[in-house]
Structure 1
Amino acid sequence: MFGFFRLVLILFVGLTLVYLAVSLYSREVRRAKLRRRWQQKGLTGDRAAFIQRGLRQYDRSFRRKLILLVYIIPLGALMLLVYVINFM
């Protein structure tokens, strides 16, 4: 049982690193898209404020919440595997 908890802890730490990497990458991609949109439309005014508004909208978006599947899918698969091995 102790080995299982150690596995889950190591998996959780690894998934946290993956989550942070994917989250930062996704946010940077969104920032680049906002910069491109600013240049393509030829907008005037404060570019930094435009990008901040876009990133705030992104933080509330469904796409941002989908990144949480990085935790849910592997842990769910592990729980299913433990159940199948032990109880079927």
Structure 2
Amino acid sequence: MFGFFRLILILLVVLTVAYGTVSLYSREMRRAKLKRRWQEKGLTGDRSAFIQRGLKQYDRSFRRKLILLVYIIPLGALAFLVYVINFM
């Protein structure tokens, strides 16, 4: 039983690192896309405010919430595997 808890703990640490990495990468890609959009459209005004507004919209977006699948899919697969092995 302790081996299972150790596996879960290590898995959660690895998934947390993966979530942080994917989250930061996705945010930086959104920032780069906003900068490109600013240059392509030739907008005037405060560029940093434009980028901040875009990132606030991104923080509330469905795409941002999809990154939580980094936790859900592996833990769900592990739970399904434990169920199949023990009860079927």
* 1:35 alignment counterpart: 35
TM-score, length basis structure 1: 0.99
What is the alpha-carbon root mean square deviation over aligned residues? 0.3
* 1:15 alignment counterpart: 15
Provide the rounded CA distance (Å) in 1 between the counterparts of 2:53 and 2:70.
26
Which amino acid counterpart does residue 15 of structure 2 have in structure 1? L
Deviation >2 Å, runs of 4+ = none
Q: CA deviation at 1:80?
A: 0.3
Q: CA deviation at 1:77?
A: 0.1
Provide the rounded CA distance (Å) in 2 between the counterparts of 1:80 and 1:5.
16
Provide the rounded CA distance (Å) in 2 between the counterparts of 1:64 and 1:53.
15
Unaligned runs of 5+ in 2: none
* 2:74 alignment counterpart: 74
Q: CA deviation at 1:48?
A: 0.2
Report how many residues are paired: 88
Which amino acid counterpart does residue 10 of structure 1 have in structure 2? I
Which amino acid counterpart does residue 5 of structure 1 have in structure 2? F
Q: CA deviation at 1:46?
A: 0.3
Provide the rounded CA distance (Å) in 2 between the counterparts of 1:77 and 1:86.
14
TM-score, length basis structure 2: 0.99
Q: CA deviation at 1:59?
A: 0.1
Q: CA deviation at 1:43?
A: 0.3
Provide the rounded CA distance (Å) in 2 between the counterparts of 1:10 and 1:68.
18
Matched residue SS, 1:45: coil
Unaligned runs of 5+ in 1: none
* 2:65 alignment counterpart: 65
